[in-house]
Structure 1
Amino acid sequence: MKGFILLFLGIRHHHAAFGGDHYIQYMYGCSWDDETGEADGFRQLGYDGEDFLVYDMKRFTWIAPKQQAVFTQHKWNSDQAGLVFWKNYISQTCIDWLKKYLDYGKSTLMRTVSPSVSLILKTPSSLVTCHATGFYPSGVMVFWQKDGQEQHEDVEHGETLPNNDGTFQKSTHLTVTPEEWKNNKYQCVVQVTGIKEDFIMVLTESEIKTNWVRVITDDPAHNIVPHIGVVLAVLAIICCCWVCHWKKKQSEKCELTGTTLERVS
């Protein structure tokens, strides 16, 4: 894990002799790599967006990139107490504070959350989506493989998006026909920064989430379901027609009987 501290200060001042408002920028910081133990630091002064004085960390002395800064360079380099102070501060004190900040924030900075991976087929088409969600940190790679080799053609990568709980999500889409992925081994691989384990989902019928059943199977047992529904619907219509016809006949019979009785009376 690498750490870095940066302090930036900008000051605007009015200098009539140099044509109005001017800006002074002051910046210093340090960095530390806990794996190699390498530490570094810097300190520099800018004037109107350009380097004015730069502190050389190897020789611990000031360097003047511009001629206008030479006078200040000699003055600050003659201040031995100031040079010793900044040498100790950048190479020791700043690093100590950086280590403390990293230790305080370790629970957040080094937190990792494994993703949940799904294969989604929303419509009866050849577009299969590999969706990874709930992972942390945001650094992630989601890609498709065919027979162990990364697939680049017919692949579309989505953006990494934030979730409401602070985790992230990302989708990658693959255009492939059912016949092709049944005859080859397609799999989605998810790699999250900070997690050594790869998360792999093999493209099979049992892993796909979809509301459209017929697109993922040729089994007649699945395809017979809609046919049964059609037959039942036709039978229901026939029954309704027969009932309506029977009621109509009964109504005509009642009217005829009533008319006959009236004539007899």
Structure 2
Amino acid sequence: MKKLLALLFFCHVASPVKHSLLYFLTATSGVPDFPQFMGSALVDDFQVGYCDSNIKTAETKQDWRKFMKDNPEHLDYYINECYESQHFFKATIDSLMKRFNQSGGVHILQRMSGCEWDDETGEIRGFNQYGYDGEDFISLDLQMLTWITPKPQAFITKLRWDADKARLHRNQYYFIHLYPDWLKKYVQYARSFLQRTDLPSVSLLQKTPSSQVTCHATGFYLNRADLFWRKDGEELHEDVDKGEILPNHDGTFQMSVDLNISSIAPEDWKKYDCVFQMSGVKDNLITKLDKSVIRTNWGKSVRTVESGNETYLSVFCSRDEI
């Protein structure tokens, strides 16, 4: 069974011919100023909707609102699932704390479920698994229709859920039949934006001549992208600080990565460049580390140079653009 990661972090990467419908549900205990329950639905790693114990209902992302309006039964399902799961997860995490002899502290219960569909072979794989405090707790073997667990504390749950044949067959129907059918509909509807690839504008930014240089990419879509500094063609892992991918108000994304230049001799600047990579796009965007292209209190104009399979962006700005 694929190990559930600690806290709130899951990672799933689908191959080009595979599509995925994933549901992430998380309950927390002992985490101040944080929702006690959160849920999210993703198609091919793109969020369809979200709910938590603060908003108390399911909300869909803008790209999916037309689909939910045309198929209200799907939205009704998610609203109901959000409501019922909050109560189930709250009761379950309380029960698990007693089972593990925990009287307090921070504790997290997660469920990752859904399906994958290979649109070339037609193969379907469903899954439903739970993790507690970052470790595998119990998961469903859909082939054998039985629950499996590495934890002795989960054995009582396994016996009870194995004996519930209606629950087992309901799981089999959802993860082998219903969710794959939904996934095919979602993929068909979403092809226009799931296959959209908008490249970003890339800039070098610096507050003062001695501060770190920030490589900033904005306006890209998909969010399967990477931004990093290189030296002599090799990715740098030291003296860099990479930020997260963040959403823009128009549905595109932005990210940045900082480079500490304090120990770089001026004659060595030409060895460094910033690389933007997007999954499924062959060409990279390469921005050379060059004082003349850094956006700060001097310089103006814009220059773009293409070379082979790489595009070099040189960005200048006037004083009032800082």
TM-score normalised according to structure 2 size: 0.45
Letter in 1 for 2:221: Y
Alpha carbons of structure 1 residues 141 and 5: separation in structure 2 relative to 1, 3 Å: closer
The corresponding residue for 2:219 is 134
Match of 1:167 among 252, 266, 276: 252
The corresponding residue for 2:123 is 38
Alpha carbons of structure 1 residues 32 and 197: separation in structure 2 relative to 1, 3 Å: same
Q: CA deviation at 1:117?
A: 0.7
The corresponding residue for 2:281 is 195
Q: CA deviation at 1:196?
A: 3.4
SS at match of 2:265: helix
Question: Percent identity, aligned pairs only?
Answer: 46
SS at match of 1:111: coil
Alpha carbons of structure 1 residues 126 and 71: separation in structure 2 relative to 1, 3 Å: closer
Contact 2:146 2:162 in 1 (8 A): no
RMSD between aligned alpha carbons? 4.2
Match of 2:293 among 198, 202, 207: 207
CA–CA separation in structure 2 for the residues paired with 1:87 and 1:192: 36
State yes or no: 1:3 paired with 2:88. Answer: no
The corresponding residue for 2:192 is 107
CA–CA separation in structure 2 for the residues paired with 1:114 and 1:62: 45
Structure number with greater Rg is 1
Match of 2:240 among 148, 155, 172: 155
CA–CA separation in structure 2 for the residues paired with 1:186 and 1:192: 20
1:207-230: CA deviation from partner (whole Å, max 9, x where unpaired): 3233247xxxxxxxxxxxxxxxxx
SS at match of 1:105: helix
- The number of residue pairs the alignment matches comes to 187
Q: CA deviation at 1:192?
A: 2.6
The corresponding residue for 2:202 is 117
CA–CA separation in structure 2 for the residues paired with 1:152 and 1:68: 44
SS at match of 1:95: helix
CA–CA separation in structure 2 for the residues paired with 1:120 and 1:142: 15
Q: CA deviation at 1:111?
A: 2.5
SS at match of 2:259: strand
Alpha carbons of structure 1 residues 102 and 182: separation in structure 2 relative to 1, 3 Å: same
SS at match of 1:99: helix
Contact 1:62 1:76 in 2 (8 A): no
Q: CA deviation at 1:160?
A: 2.7
CA–CA separation in structure 1 for the residues paired with 2:213 and 2:180: 49
State yes or no: 1:97 paired with 2:182. Answer: yes
Letter in 2 for 1:149: E
